[in-house]
Structure 1
Amino acid sequence: MERLTFEYAATKSVPKRAYVGVVGSGDLEVLLEPLEDKKAYVTVRTRFDGFEQIWKDILDRFFENNDIAAKIEINDFGATPGMVSMRLLQALEVSQDDKTQR
């Protein structure tokens, strides 16, 4: 089990908390909370060791396109990079949705 942490500069706040996904076979969950800081803090807990560079690449790409200030927790159980990107975008969408919390 590995725990990774990342930090990114940010300028845009997200309006509310979001929770998407489920920790289970081949999936992951993303918990996103708004922050007043002009930073994003990401914690990844994954059952696989040795993939820090891949996580960094995925998160770098996400934050290049989504300049959000948030605390993000990712609990991984073997998700592919595509699934990680999808869940991050899904959490961002839910945090900006007035009507539902998924």
Structure 2
Amino acid sequence: METLRFEYLGGTPPAVQAPTLTGVVGSGNLEVLVEAAPGSGSCVIEITTAAVGFGHIWQAVIDDFHARHGLCDLRISVNDVGATPAVVSLRLDQAIETFLGDAA
């Protein structure tokens, strides 16, 4: 297992919402937990993955995610069992959409 942590400063804070969990950890899949972190001024994304040695791929996917959504005051936890970058990107988008609800 490998743990990766990415932090992005600045962005738009969303209205505080209840934590949301999207996806299921299973073969080739992942789950994403999104939680409000009011006043932090950052978006922290922590990934626990069974696919060791792919930090540069994760960096690219997470950079793209933050560039598209530009949110702060969030903590996102990802538990991965080998999902492809496309699945990761889709699941992150689903998690944010679910978290934001009507505010999206």
For normalisation by structure 2, the TM-score amounts to 0.89
Identity across matched positions, percent: 40
Q: How does 1:1-102 map to 2 (within 5 A)?
A: 1-14=1-14, 15-16=16-17, 17-36=19-38, 37-69=40-72, 70-98=74-102
Contact 1:32 1:72 in 2 (8 A): yes
RMSD: 1.0
- Name structure 2 gaps, 5 residues minimum: none
Moved over 4 A (4+): none
**SS of match in other structure, 2:57:** helix
Contact 1:13 1:35 in 2 (8 A): no
Q: Name the CA shift for 1:96/1:38 in 2 (closer, same or farther; >3 Å).
A: same
For normalisation by structure 1, the TM-score amounts to 0.90
**CA apart distance, 1:35:** 1.5
Contact 1:13 1:34 in 2 (8 A): no
Say how many residue pairs are matched.
98
- Name structure 1 gaps, 5 residues minimum: none
